[in-house]
Amino acid sequence: MKLSSLQPAKGSVKVNDRVGRGHGSGGGGTAKRGHKGAKSRSGYSQKRGFEGGQMPLQRRVPKFGFKNINRVEYKAINLDTIQALFDKTGANSMDLGFLYNNGLTQKSDRVKILGRGELTAAVALKANAFSASAIAAIEKAGGSATVDATFDPSASAGAVKTGKPAEKLVAQEVVAAPAVAETAVEAKPKKAKKAAEGDDLKIIEGIGPKIADLLINEGIVSFADLAATPAERVKEILDAAGSNYAMHDPTTWAEQAELARDGKLDELKELQDKLNAGRAE
């Protein structure tokens, strides 16, 4: 064996075809590409999964995994949000209805309290679920965590609405927390008793469930009471309850209540047809 006689093994080296050099190269006029098809064109590039134009495997069998029909989704509310709500309202008891009234949840939400943030207020919380860290932080602050799915915005627990700034509510809560709790517990039966003995104030156009409850709390429980109450006094009650109530105009409520008190329902309907959300057009 000599260095000059070394050569590759047979079959290990492939000689490239010289195509596209005219008929003399032996590839014909199409440079060995054939007459038609994607591979006869310049710039051909085969994509991954391409099967010559037929439906590829990944599209024929695309299904994977499953949808868990038993999955339960929660609206997450953290402890720092609860603390901010306490600082704003001074409420020492919060349930699903109270969170809904303050714009934190929707009617259909399942609420879970999570442990992010710091909670220093003693708050009695009721929700659909709690994380372990949230329960520990709530109990450490002196509050309680109760799994309760009851949703009743009209009777939700919380701070007593007096129209006072949030700072005064917080100060009152700290100084006389037991007295406030006892007052809230005793007020519920009285409110239900008055509502049962009085008239349905929601018949008056412009009065909804929340305004009706507000008037009942002020002792206006019947059509006769509303007819005898000056519009200025009713306006004071609405203004003290907040901006959501102050936007209403009670100037026609006494007239409507007088017709309802006297049983003149046809005349009441004619009057309400001329009104726009309780206001005279």
Mean pLDDT in residue range 245-250: 84
Q: How confident is the model at residue 278 (pLDDT cuts 50, 70, 90)?
A: low
**pLDDT, position 197:** 56
Helix intervals (H) in the chain: 57-60, 79-89, 96-101, 132-140, 166-175, 177-197, 209-217, 223-228, 231-241, 243-246, 253-261, 265-273
The more confidently predicted of residues 27 and 124 is 124
Take residue 29 and report the two structure tokens written for it. 């006029």
The pLDDT tens digits of the residues spanning 32-89 come to 888 888 888 888 898 889 998 899 998 888 777 888 889 889 999 999 999 999 999 9
**pLDDT, position 255:** 87
List the single range of 83-97, 164-178, 257-271 with lowest mean pLDDT. Answer: 164-178
The pLDDT tens digits of the residues spanning 251-269 come to 888 888 888 888 888 888 8
Separation of alpha carbons 35 and 29, rounded Å:
9
First vs last Cα of the chain: how many Å apart?
117
What order do you get walking across the sheet with 75-78 strand by strand?
75-78, 111-114, 129-130
The pLDDT tens digits of the residues spanning 102-159 come to 999 999 999 999 999 999 999 999 999 999 999 999 999 999 999 998 888 886 654 4
Locus of tokens 């989704």: 73
Mean pLDDT in residue range 159-186: 39
DSSP state of 218: T
- Please determine, for residue 4, whether its predicted confidence score (pLDDT) is greater than 80: yes
**pLDDT, position 132:** 94
Strand (E) or helix (H) holding 276: strand 275-276
Take residue 178 and report the two structure tokens written for it. 């037991």
The more confidently predicted of residues 171 and 49 is 49
Take residue 251 and report the two structure tokens written for it. 């100037």
Beta strands (DSSP E) in 53-154 are 75-78, 93-94, 111-114, 124-127, 129-130, 144-147
**pLDDT, position 219:** 85
Q: How many CB atoms lie within 10 A of CB 82?
A: 26
Torsion-angle region of residue 263: left (phi > 0), alpha (psi -120 to 50) or beta?
Answer: left
The more confidently predicted of residues 235 and 78 is 78
- Please determine, for residue 170, whether its predicted confidence score (pLDDT) is greater than 50: no
